[in-house]
Structure 1
């Protein structure tokens, strides 16, 4: 009798654990059927998901279009959105602890969030409105699902902050960093020049354009005493790559087009392959947008409204990376008596 009772209790405990696990996993999943009354919409709108789960949004105003894009993206990618904005702003260690500290130090030094805050007032009025509508949609989802957050938030034990227009700009800058490819090259060039002299650079690191590489020897002489040959990767970049594989690698891409005269169908073909890192979930977020002035299908980034690559009812577009110098390094001298001050034009300033 005692054995039967113990077995029954054990079975109930296991069933309870399984049920709790299923609730934690499945409860946050997006609701794809039914009608909802969302405060904040201008008019009636519709979201249809195709057989792949891709949302196609139909709205009567631009505000509602981007409001619902924010809402459905939060449905599908809320933790990814929060992780990306934290990475760009240097706030990963708040939730991930010491392993993310080097990444936070690097991105706070880069100042992506500070620059984004200064750029926000410079955006066009309609762009600011679209960003604001997107943020409102994300926050509407947060308001209605605070008790059913994705499992990652439950495991890490925190609730995400409200989304803001600034967060979208920070994510956009993180993606720009993701696409850049010459930070490590700059470090490698400096390391080679420090160890072997600037004369080796033309041979070991020739200009990709084919033009003769040149070195400003006067500038090099000014900074060389403060450099030492070392690693061609920053600790922060290594730390971020452990969380977001391939971040900042900028491994290249390709993009090509064929005229209709060269295709079997007589229609032109555009192929774009940005070569971004493979992650789960994907960097890309597929979505369809149809409303006044918009009839788009393509890919965005989780956290950014609109379409980055895709097509409308007339044209298609994509993007590729070129060998461009998008990152420069500066040697800064700290005040030996106050590390918060740096030398500028012969004087130390904060």
Structure 2
């Protein structure tokens, strides 16, 4: 008997938002499967924070439709709010309260009973490694501890979808990686993560799919590897034991960058399994022995710059006003 696939966590069609003459979102479509990490990338002003505000019911769109966990954003906002959690760029932690008190406060706001509120607080304190600091004021916490508490507070309501808006901004590398592990654990438990970030490595590490937002339009979408393969510059570096094999390989594989001193060839290649197999088959048929092979593909920095034309690349500051310039044409990157 076939199993019916679960409904997506988030769908959006034609979302639009403007402030006067400033077009912030020019009609974007989204499809986010349940239990995945979907990352929205874009330079400051691209529309990331506006998108999160709309999908989390904090801002009304000027047009378009969206459904979160099967609930219509416009007609069922309360049901949407019950299904989601939001961890914004700036911590919602009350500095005067302890971790225990912050979590209990969130339990009260979610109208949980006293026993259930205590149970969830205990579980989250342990899950986020805050047991020892539970009775210390949050003002004494490190940045990483505050972000863990902030996310723990979001989880008190047991959300199906969590919007993480710049979750690791300002954290040191160790704290950032700790947060990544937490996110992976949440996804493994079935939670859907909608992530906006200025750290391209973060999206590369966490995201199942990435959408690039530029001047109010989605200009590309795909897995991190799919996006990298679409950008020119990928190549395979082949090293040979002697000049004879180098010469034969150079004739077999076509246009290359050749280094006779190092006995290497740099062959344009997108790094996919199919193209690598084809290259190795050609060499094998010519009886060429390859001593060493390494694949070099563009990283997400290259993808970002190619798709947005932003000479400065992504920054580490917030999505200030989301006021863009006129939109570029959309280039869809998908696999079906």
**Where on the TM-score scale, by shorter chain, does this alignment land: which range?**
under 0.3
Q: Is the radius of gyration larger for structure 1 or structure 2? A: 1
Structure with a larger share of its residues in helix = 1
With a CA cutoff of 8 Å and minimum separation of 6, indicate the structure with the bigger relative contact order.
2
Q: TM-score, normalised by structure 2?
A: 0.26
Q: Which has the higher strand share?
A: 2
